[in-house]
Structure 1
Amino acid sequence: MKKNLITILRQQLLLIIILPTFCISAAAQIAGKAVKFKKNHLWDEFYTEGATVGDVNKDGKLDIIAGAKWFEAPHWKMHEIWKHKKFDYTKGYSDSFLNYMMDVNEDGWLDLICFDFPGKEVYWFENPAGAERYWKRNLIDSIASNESPMVVDIDGDGKKDLVFGNEKLGQLAWFSNVVKAKKVTWKRTAISELNAKGIGLFSHGLGWGDINGDGVKDVMIIGGWWEAPHDMKTSPWKFHEANLGLPCSQMLTYDLDNDGDNDVISSSAHGYGLWWHEASLDKDKNIVFKRHTIDSTFSELHSIVLEDVNNDGLPDLITGKRFFSHQGLGPGGLEPAVLYWFELLKDGKQKPAWIRHLIDDTSGVGIQFATEDMNKDGLLDIIIGNKNGVFYFEQILPGKQKSEK
């Protein structure tokens, strides 16, 4: 009897040791259908179509930055970056299309990169280092023609760079900040030749990823890709023509079919369609692409992000409808402003598949949005600025409150 009791106690002790580990693993990965988001509508007027995140006031918490305003975590108190202006989405557009954060002047405070309407200026706004005043506006360049310019680390030096085109030159270039004696200048390095295709005003489709598998990320447009040199001082880059689909928003790369090369994901900016482009080699060893449709049921997918939503180790797609993209006149322009995530299913033996999950149907996306674990709970959150306002979709554990408007 005593021996049996000892055995039982040992088994219970083992269970106590194992169970917490099991619970942690179960909480880390969530079944797709169980993923829930709490909707926080931070602002209900149209003034931006981009949003980003960063610790603005250096308090250790991630704040939300959207155009002329930033919202202080954790209670989302609003602060103005420049004088707020309300826009009428039935008649026009705002002066904030895409937003990114980086420490431009290297003073330890995050600054705002803001792209205006396509073909107009791109500015950086200097963080006033905790002071409650408007941020100083500084010009980076007078023309940024692409609809989806990028802020990425092109040269791998650990600092973000800007990538966009100039329709007057017909040239794509990347810009790096240079700080000397507290003064900021921007070094411009050409990617394309002059008068290149796909760089005109309102050009749709721009992406960054390793297309040829040489370990260096290349730059894509829908008509092909520029092969990045190993020496980033080289200019211009070699262009390879390719059919990468229809006019789109951001272009993303990932090896979806497990064949060792990156495929390309894109979404229709003003029509219907979410696609992946399967990469392969033709008989002449050129990289070619075959288009596959992921979804075609909603339109105006003017921004897209590739991130792991449910912690299963696979990157999922997050996208939605850009509300009143062209004042409701485009294909499906008056349909619901949906926001979806597409759960990637991939077993390494067959083509990829996705399960579509609705997050919301009265918000949509803008030109660019951000994803981040805002409250460090291990769950990915979504931050959006568009014609419906500013939104923070907080992912919550299954069983908790789903929405709050």
Structure 2
Amino acid sequence: MRCHIIVLTVCLAGASAQAEVRFRKHVIDPAFQAEACAVADVDGDGRLDLVAGENWYRAPDWRPRQFRTVARWDGYADVRCDHPVDLNGDGRMDLVTVHRGPAMAWLENPSDHQGHWRAYPIGESTMTEGVVAGDLDGDGLIDLIGPTGEKAQAVAWWKAPADRTQPWIKTIVGSRGGGLHGIGLGDLNRDGRPDVLVQQGWYEAPADPRQGEWPFHELDRGDTHHPVVYDFDGDGDQDVAASSPHDYGLYWWEQSTGEDGRPAWTRHTIDESISQLHTLVGADIDGDGDTDLLTGKRYRAHDDRDPGSDEPSLLVWYELRRDGERA
């Protein structure tokens, strides 16, 4: 995936949304830094800073401060995912990072927030854009979920050891549906435990996530990325939204109960006018109490290999509107 600037054009979906919610673009850095960008209060001053590539950008002056070295080649950078989290409990926001190669590591934020941060190994995943952070075992600590295997054919989760300087403990979730896109977390069956979503379906979280392979359920989303789990139609069960990273399309899958008593899924189109939608985030953008969707398109994200790759870069949000039990 190729990108060129951190902050891009903003579009608003829906006439009422345009009247109520306005955005103003601020260019933080016109140069390409990395495919990943994270938001966190790095220096503990109460303001949200930005992390991208080799630098973190302190609010409000946004001056770049280098904290690591990132290899680059042919318009790409060796950072696929960044997850800010306080891993060592010192009150400072550290950074979990996934490289284009198999290595995952976390970087320790020093007390003065200066210089290069020390890196500690987590383990090996597969070159991916889809490592997800969440608490799988309910201990209040961050875990990682992502693809594993030579061809990313399986899914695993990694738990931090008591000694954070050591590699993390890896447990296989299942042997289906790894892939470089499409892994997510959400409580699909409302049992209070986070399930793991993949492009082909979802793994039901057992009481003990460290057991053998988790039960697998079919839900074929095709080549989609970053699923968001939410009850979009307000009928009491969880639905799924996901974006198409290599084509046009943003969709949601409505959950219902089939004649056999098992979950049944119906796909609905949200928008098919924008291509290469990668990261998808659920958030209440307009403050009306429900979850809207935020996503964006990069310019030539995969050179010329995808439909619409030369079309303009966009940052877009979609307002959720309901009519009874219809989204």
Same fold (TM over 0.5): yes
1:285 maps to 2:242: no
Residue number in structure 1 paired with 2:91: 108
Residue number in structure 2 paired with 1:327: 303
In structure 2, do the counterparts of structure 1 residues 84 and 233 end up closer, same or farther at CA, with 3 Å as the change threshold? Answer: closer
Specify the code of the residue in structure 1 equivalent to 2:291.
P
Residue number in structure 2 paired with 1:186: 168
Specify the code of the residue in structure 1 equivalent to 2:306.
G
Residue number in structure 2 paired with 1:157: 139
Distance 2:310 2:216 in 1: 39
List alignment gaps of at least 5 residues for structure 1.
1-30, 353-405
Q: Identify which of 210, 216, 234 aligns with 2:193.
A: 216
Residue number in structure 1 paired with 2:160: 177
Question: After alignment, is 292-301 or 74-83 more displaced?
Answer: 74-83
Specify the code of the residue in structure 2 equivalent to 1:303.
T
What are the Cα deviations for residues 316-371 of structure 1, in whole angstroms up to 9, with x where unaligned?
11112132211133111101111111111124x1421xxxxxxxxxxxxxxxxxxx
Question: After alignment, is 60-69 or 287-296 more displaced?
Answer: 60-69
Specify the code of the residue in structure 1 equivalent to 2:17.
G
Question: After alignment, is 331-340 or 159-168 more displaced?
Answer: 159-168
Aligned residues: 311
Q: Contact 1:98–1:116 (CA<8 Å) still a contact in 2?
A: yes
Specify the code of the residue in structure 1 equivalent to 2:178.
I
Higher relative contact order (CA 8 A, sep 6+): 1
Please give the root-mean-square deviation of Cα atoms over the aligned residues, in Å.
2.0
Question: After alignment, is 53-62 or 272-281 more displaced?
Answer: 53-62
1:96 maps to 2:79: yes
Residue number in structure 2 paired with 1:338: 314
In structure 2, do the counterparts of structure 1 residues 234 and 86 end up closer, same or farther at CA, with 3 Å as the change threshold? Answer: closer
* TM-score, with structure 2 as normaliser: 0.89
* TM-score, with structure 1 as normaliser: 0.72
SS in 1 for 2:18: helix
Residue number in structure 1 paired with 2:226: 250
Q: Identify which of 34, 39, 43 aligns with 2:25.
A: 39
Q: Contact 1:115–1:144 (CA<8 Å) still a contact in 2?
A: no
SS in 2 for 1:33: helix
1:199 maps to 2:178: yes
Distance 1:184 1:36 in 2: 46
Specify the code of the residue in structure 2 equivalent to 1:266.
A
Aligned positions of 1:316-395 closer than 5 A: 316-347=292-323, 349-352=324-327
Q: Contact 2:231–2:239 (CA<8 Å) still a contact in 1?
A: yes
Residue number in structure 2 paired with 1:315: 291
Q: Contact 1:46–1:87 (CA<8 Å) still a contact in 2?
A: no
What are the Cα deviations for residues 277-312 of structure 1, in whole angstroms up to 9, with x where unaligned?
011222222222111100000100011111011111
Residue number in structure 1 paired with 2:123: 141
Distance 1:251 1:112 in 2: 22
Residue number in structure 2 paired with 1:71: 57
SS in 2 for 1:258: coil
List alignment gaps of at least 5 residues for structure 2.
1-15
Distance 2:239 2:79 in 1: 31
Specify the code of the residue in structure 1 equivalent to 2:211.
T
- Report deviation, 1:59: 2.4
Residue number in structure 2 paired with 1:234: 211
Residue number in structure 1 paired with 2:12: none
Specify the code of the residue in structure 2 equivalent to 1:78.
P
* Structure with max Cα Rg: 1
- Report deviation, 1:273: 0.7
Distance 1:67 1:84 in 2: 6
Distance 2:27 2:79 in 1: 19
Specify the code of the residue in structure 2 equivalent to 1:37.
F
Distance 1:136 1:212 in 2: 40
More helix by share: 1
Q: Contact 2:184–2:198 (CA<8 Å) still a contact in 1?
A: yes
Question: After alignment, is 265-274 or 106-115 more displaced?
Answer: 106-115
Residue number in structure 2 paired with 1:356: none
Question: After alignment, is 287-296 or 209-218 more displaced?
Answer: 209-218
Distance 1:289 1:45 in 2: 42
What are the Cα deviations for residues 93-132 of structure 1, in whole angstroms up to 9, with x where unaligned?
2111211111223333221111112x53222112122152
